[in-house]
Amino acid sequence: MKRWGLLTLLLGSLLSGSVARAGTIFVVNSTAGTIGEYDTSGATVNASLITGLNNPGSLTLSGSNLFVANGGNTIGEYTTAGGTVNAALITGLNNVHQVSSFGSDIFVANGNPTNTIGEYTTAGATVNSALISGVDVAHGAASNGSDIFVLNNGSGSLGSGSISEYNTSGGLVNGALITGLSTPEEIVIIGSDIFVTNFGLGTAATGTVGEYTTSGTTVNASLISGLDGPGGIATDGTYLFITNGFGGTISEYTTSGVLVNAALVSGLSAPDGITVFGTATPEPGCFGLLTVAALGAFGFSRRKLAFRS
């Protein structure tokens, strides 16, 4: 009886929208100031799940809550049902380019002029606001639990971008783990592989996604090409979901780079940050989370067309 009661409660919560369903995509509409919700088949759940944001960019998911970079200097916390937990959970930031989560920690990439990676708890407490400093135009950070991989946008010119590796205490492991990136915008780690979006020339259909190992080996520097202003990238463990800021779409590929749907979701407003809750086909009784951060808090139109620093 207790087991059925728990199952009924869980199903009721899922159906009522109090928690996200497995296989749910959340995406930022930068110019509209909203976050939309879709399932991984591309169907609209709620195109305006969260509204009233100020040029939002980066987005990550931890537990059942969303953490959103808003206005470049604030991170707000919201439930996956769209409720506000704390619109100013973390403040005093500077030109935030990426927010990512691992466990109970949030890593924040602050761009020019500070160029630091800060660490905070998901409760908003400061662990170290400058855990890593001296980054070459900080554009992102993601952790696999033992190391932190940091995106250096460099001068913003083609081939000047790189990924550096640090330990979780902020100590430098390899300052040039991966080099030759073209205006890198987003990083996601799947097991021992790193996938990174390259904005390219800043014109339509010149963006790419490269694949590398966490030891720095190139798997395929142009695993995916022809993207239309790529920024955010997320995964459900099997597929990659990429925002195309110019095209207003989300594209879907396999982790091997095979195109599934070039416009899985369309009609978006300068889409940027993206994250995925769970998997499209979860195992019975399994509702795990797999979260990935996306980039930039100043919005697509302002930061990417100018190759912002």
Q: What is the pLDDT of residues 23-59, one digit of tens each?
A: 999 999 999 999 999 999 999 999 999 999 999 998 9
**Interatomic CA distance for residues 47 and 235, integer angstroms:** 20
Q: Which two tokens stand for residue 152?
A: 């250096």
| pLDDT tens digits for range 96-135 | 988 999 999 999 999 889 999 999 999 999 999 999 999 9
Distance of CA 198 to the CA centre of its chain: 14
> pLDDT class for 155, splitting at 50, 70, 90?
confident
Tell me which residue of 266, 230, 272 sits closest to 248, measured CA to CA.
266
Peptide bond into 284 cis (omega under 30): no
Instruction: Tell me which of 10 and 142 has the higher pLDDT.
Output: 142
Confirm whether 99 is domain-assigned: yes
**Interatomic CA distance for residues 139 and 270, integer angstroms:** 18
**Interatomic CA distance for residues 50 and 80, integer angstroms:** 9
Confirm whether 3 is domain-assigned: no
Confirm whether 252 is domain-assigned: yes
Burial class (CB in 10 A: 0-12, 13-18, 19+), 228: buried
Point out which residues pair with 59 in neighbouring strands.
Answer: 68
> What CATH number did the domain enclosing 274 receive?
2.130.10.10
Tell me which residue of 275, 308, 296, 289 sits closest to 66, measured CA to CA.
275
Q: Write out the residue range of the structural domain in which residue 78 sits.
A: 51-303
Confirm whether 21 is domain-assigned: no
Q: Which residues contact 111 (CB under 8 A, 6 or more apart)?
A: 94, 95, 96, 97, 137, 138, 139, 153, 308, 309
Confirm whether 38 is domain-assigned: no
Number of separate domains in the chain: 1
Residue with tokens 């009784």: 285
If one counts every other C-beta atom within 10 angstroms of the C-beta of residue 3, the result is 7
Confirm whether 24 is domain-assigned: no
pTM: predicted TM-score of the whole model, two decimal places? 0.84
Confirm whether 9 is domain-assigned: no
Mean pLDDT for the chain? 85
Provide φ and ψ at 11, rounded to 5°.
-65, -40
Instruction: Tell me which of 264 and 7 has the higher pLDDT.
Output: 264
In the chain, the amino acid numbered 237 is: G
Task: Measure the CA angle with vertex 250, ends 279 and 210; round to 5°.
Answer: 85
| pLDDT tens digits for range 208-254 | 999 999 999 999 999 999 999 998 999 999 999 999 999 999 999 99
Give the pLDDT confidence score for residue 280 in this predicted structure.
44
Residue with tokens 């490269």: 210
Confirm whether 172 is domain-assigned: yes
188 near 195, Cβ under 8 Å? yes
Query: What DSSP element (H or E) covers 8?
Result: helix 2-16
Dihedral through CA 31, CA 33, CA 35, CA 38, nearest 10? -40
